[in-house]
């Protein structure tokens, strides 16, 4: 169940995004809300949600990084495997959401549970 004060992101995908070509010291803004159309990066879609992107400095040059797109990782911005449970977690949160009567097509994201009108459970 959604706890008071916590903001819940939604899932852009239920799998990580492989990103190649990142260099040590690059600065990127990882989408934390799940609404960006430019995953895994921020495109400004979080505006109005109170969720902000994560500024990430690439720690080292390597062939590829697997960045979280389900937004359930505990190791932001990297995938930690939690996407395997993300669909179930978001579905349960939406069912228990105290604001579920306000879920509708005009709601971009319910930050009390992570529901959005395009989300598949
Ligand atoms: S995509 Fe989010 S933990 Fe893997």
Question: What are the residue boundaries of the structural domains of the chain, listed by start?
Answer: 17-84
Ligand 1 binding pocket includes 72 (Cβ within 6 Å): yes
Question: Ligand 1 center to residue 81 CA distance, Å?
Answer: 5
Question: Ligand 1 center to residue 98 CA distance, Å?
Answer: 26
- What sign has the CA pseudo-torsion 39, 9, 24, 63? negative
| DSSP secondary structure of 55-118 | EEE--S--SEEEE-SSS--SSTTB--STHHHHHHHHHHHHHH-TTGGG-STT-S--TTT---TT
Q: Whose C-alpha lies nearest to ligand 1, atom 4?
A: 79
pTM, two decimals, is 0.92
Per-residue pLDDT of the chain (121 residues; tens, 9 = 90+): 445 589 999 999 999 999 999 999 999 999 999 999 999 999 999 999 999 999 999 999 999 999 999 999 999 999 999 999 999 999 999 999 999 999 988 888 999 999 999 887 7
Identify the pLDDT of residue 4.
Answer: 58
């Amino acid at each position: 169940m959604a706890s008071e004060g916590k903001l819940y992101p939604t899932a852009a995908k239920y799998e990580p995004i492989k990103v190649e070509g990142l260099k040590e010291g690059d600065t990127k803004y990882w989408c934390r809300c799940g609404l960006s159309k430019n995953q895994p990066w921020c495109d400004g879609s979080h505006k109005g949600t109170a969720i902000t992107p994560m500024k990430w400095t690439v720690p080292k040059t390597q062939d590829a990084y697997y960045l979280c797109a389900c937004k359930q990782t505990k190791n932001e911005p990297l995938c930690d495997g939690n996407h395997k449970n993300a669909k179930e977690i978001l579905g349960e949160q939406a069912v228990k959401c105290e604001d579920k009567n306000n879920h509708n097509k005009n709601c971009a994201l319910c930050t009390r549970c992570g529901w959005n009108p395009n989300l598949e459970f």
